[in-house]
Amino acid sequence: MSEQVGKQSLQFSNPPYVLSCSSVVGTREGKGPLRDQFDVVSEDDHFDSENWETAESMLQKKALKIALDKAAVLPEELRYLFAGDLLGQSVATSFGLQEFQVPLIGLYGACSTSGLSLSLAAMTVAAGYADLAAAVTSSHFASAEKQFRFPLEYANQRPLCTTWTVTGSGAFLLAGGGKYLDLKRRNHHEKIFAEDPDDLAFKDWNNSRDIVISGVTTGKILDYGVRDSMNMGAAMAPAAMDVIRAHFEDFGRTPEDYDWIVTGDLGQVGKQILIELLMEKGIDISANHTDCGIEIFDNEKQKTGSGGSGCGCSAVTLAAHFLPMLRSGEIRRLLFVPTGALLSKISFNEGKNVPGIAHAVVLESRIFGQQENGRPEKRNQNKEAKK
Amino acid sequence: MSEQVGKQSLQFSNPPYVLSCSSVVGTREGKGPLRDQFDVVSEDDHFDSENWETAESMLQKKALKIALDKAAVLPEELRYLFAGDLLGQSVATSFGLQEFQVPLIGLYGACSTSGLSLSLAAMTVAAGYADLAAAVTSSHFASAEKQFRFPLEYANQRPLCTTWTVTGSGAFLLAGGGKYLDLKRRNHHEKIFAEDPDDLAFKDWNNSRDIVISGVTTGKILDYGVRDSMNMGAAMAPAAMDVIRAHFEDFGRTPEDYDWIVTGDLGQVGKQILIELLMEKGIDISANHTDCGIEIFDNEKQKTGSGGSGCGCSAVTLAAHFLPMLRSGEIRRLLFVPTGALLSKISFNEGKNVPGIAHAVVLESRIFGQQENGRPEKRNQNKEAKK
């Protein structure tokens, strides 16, 4: 039985379950509209570290620890870690996750890495290669500015189309059906006898609905010739367009099949370009599209230009904002499309274009064991997308 | 049916076949002992490019093109590309492979990336997620020196324990059993009517034996506290030890079950450390261990310090030197263990350690459809390993 759908998608016959997730963010995110939804909002972007790269490592470490704690599983129960960040040679991941001692698949897809890590973790669990796997990604405003633009000390000015890298890390634990049921029973049993039933470990277990990753569409590199590293939204929009178009074609679906289509960090500039590019292909997502970079900041008040960006942006917004909606059943099916700009400081200085890539992940709200039609029940019921 | 073996390994019940492979190298490699085995030896390390990063992109582009040509398949027949390099934000891959327009999984595991890409491509094909996938990795001496140490123009001196980054790229096409047989028949049929039966497209199809990836062991990050970026062999040897030990434990095997155990780029310094570390665990690989970094250069004549290194080192040595031995049946089972040092220029300058990682891939020589015992037939028959 093949799981292949169309030219570049997979549909899982045994979809992996999202066992738990976590979100750890910095100060700017803690002042944004999602402030009450994150697991941890730090009061100090240094995270007790001597430099920004180590601070980002601390973000990943905390995020994975919390996701493990929420599910009440130990690191040695994880069979694989799928992880990455934006820094050269992915040093935030290498130094942040080494103490967990889990076999590591290091990934790089710029800000699309959160989609890439979820895709590969889902593929691995769905294939029976692991009962339990984790996907972790991060970004940090200060380490990213230093990596791609200028150190903060330069206090350079930024054009309005620029996005602001999110300081944050999101972690997701995925489990196969059998393992998920075992852990759900174990944790339910433990909760009954727990001293504090409101303990973090039981936080995600109070809902009757479960979340699965039912399919993925893996993206190609798209290059429309953008060379402005201060306008990532424009650079990444074509790749988002291409993978969303391919996804609908492969699955034979339309935007109406999703409550939300959520891109990673196109921001307000990229969002408009994406909607126009898809419109040219005859696909109208304007009624149910939003972008994590738009959700995470109040751009006008917080002066965050076009919006948030970075692997951390899409990861924490999914974990803190969208997964709870799927957990409660408020929404039934979501297309998560993190977007990445494949540049480096060197490629930029050498005058190269900024090609983009995006990967799509289908998340659905289900009742355990039931294969529902994940189509939204009431079309347009929750279309209060930010403009 | 689970493919999981032990704590961190997989054994494939439907192992993917190595359909074709390629090796493209630079001038120094072209003067080494494997000079006659590479597909392309360039006369110019610039590869007609204006900078070193673009030169490395050209290497990947050429390598994948040749692997496709050898198997007579088109890029659009590939379902996934698993690829990476050593440069910050993997720019050699992004700019080298975008024109093929294949869904891309970007990887980063430093020099272990050739093992990581083969592992994930094998997992993906074995799971039925793809009939055809490619794994491509590269490194370039000049871009790596600029990235990790000093631009070549500085003409800095190097200690003897330093390894020399290989200028090269290796590509591998993996196919599921059904697709492999189809392509083998198609190419055999075409060869009969071809004007030039010695055409590149038929080069790898003349042998009766086939090569499968029968299993993988994914490594963890190991950090023994090495801080010397000029001694990568010492930094990576503990990770190689750990994954080899885990591999033998998971599969219940010993070194005698392999014709060769081939690490990626430990060089002469790292080789000795690896052998001693494994000896402490009661495992003696001294009789059948070698290292791609030792095979690729004549260190004494070529003054290449401890040996070759880089993702390109292990990839081209596997493609050019070891796969033909498996193809002919000269050897039957090989454990390929590329090793990576997880540092960046920034982490080094911030005084961080150089942690290591390694991933193990089992390659076996088979006759199509026959599940043989892959143990070497005559122990020690080919133990002319370089010291």
pLDDT band at B382 (very low <50, low <70, confident <90, very high): very low
Chain B contacts of A2, Cβ < 8 Å?
128
Distance from CA of A44 to the nearest CA of B (A): 21
Q: Tell me, what's the pLDDT at B197?
A: 57
Place of tokens 């939003």: A290
pLDDT exceeds 60 at position B67: yes
Residue with the bigger pLDDT between A88 and B204: it is A88
- For the residues of B198-264, what is the DSSP string, one character each? TSGGGGGGS-SEEEEEEEEE----B------TT-HHHHHHHHHHHHHHHHHHHHT--GGG-SEEEES
- Cα end-to-end distance, chain A, whole Å: 43
Question: What pLDDT was estimated at residue A255?
Answer: 97
Rounded to 5 degrees, what are φ and ψ at B108?
-140, 120
Asked if B350 and A53 come within 8 Å (Cβ–Cβ), the reply is: yes
Task: Using DSSP, state whether B3 is helix, strand or coil.
Answer: coil
| Residue A270 to residue A262: CA distance in whole angstroms | 13
Q: Tell me which of A58, A108, A345 to substitute to probe the interface with B (most B C-beta atoms closer than 10 Å).
A: A108
Distance CA B219, CA A190 (A): 33
Task: State whether residue B17 is helix, strand or coil.
Answer: strand
Query: Is residue B202 pLDDT above 70, yes or no?
Result: no
The residue-averaged pLDDT of A216-230 equals 92
Higher pLDDT, B306 or A197: B306
**What is the complex's ipTM, to 2 decimals?**
0.93
Q: Stretch B356-366: mean pLDDT, rounded?
A: 97
Q: What is the pLDDT of residues A102-130, one digit of tens each?
A: 999 999 999 999 999 999 999 999 999 99
Task: Read off the pTM.
Answer: 0.94
Segment B125-170, tens digit of pLDDT: 999 999 999 999 999 999 988 888 877 888 888 787 888 999 999 9
List the 31-60 stretch of A: residues with Cβ below 8 A of B: 50-51, 53-54
Nearest residue, CB atoms, A89 vs list B10, B50, B110? B110
Helix axes B52-71, B141-148, angle to 10 degrees: 140
Is pLDDT at B376 greater than 70 in this prediction?
no
In the predicted model, what is the mean pLDDT of residues B48-65? 95
Helix (H) or strand (E) holding B105: strand B104-106
String of DSSP letters for B267-304: HHHHHHHHHHHHHHTT---TTTEEEHHHHS--HHHHT-
> Is B123 part of the contact surface with chain A (CB cutoff 8 Å)?
yes
pLDDT at B194 over 80: no
Pick the residue from chain A with its C-alpha nearest to B109.
Answer: A106
On whether the CB atoms of residues A208 and A367 are closer than 8 A, the answer is yes
**pLDDT tens-digit profile of B282-336?**
999 999 999 999 999 998 899 888 999 999 999 999 999 999 999 999 999 999 9
**Which among B26, B65, B325, B102 is positioned nearest to B200, based on CA atoms?**
B65
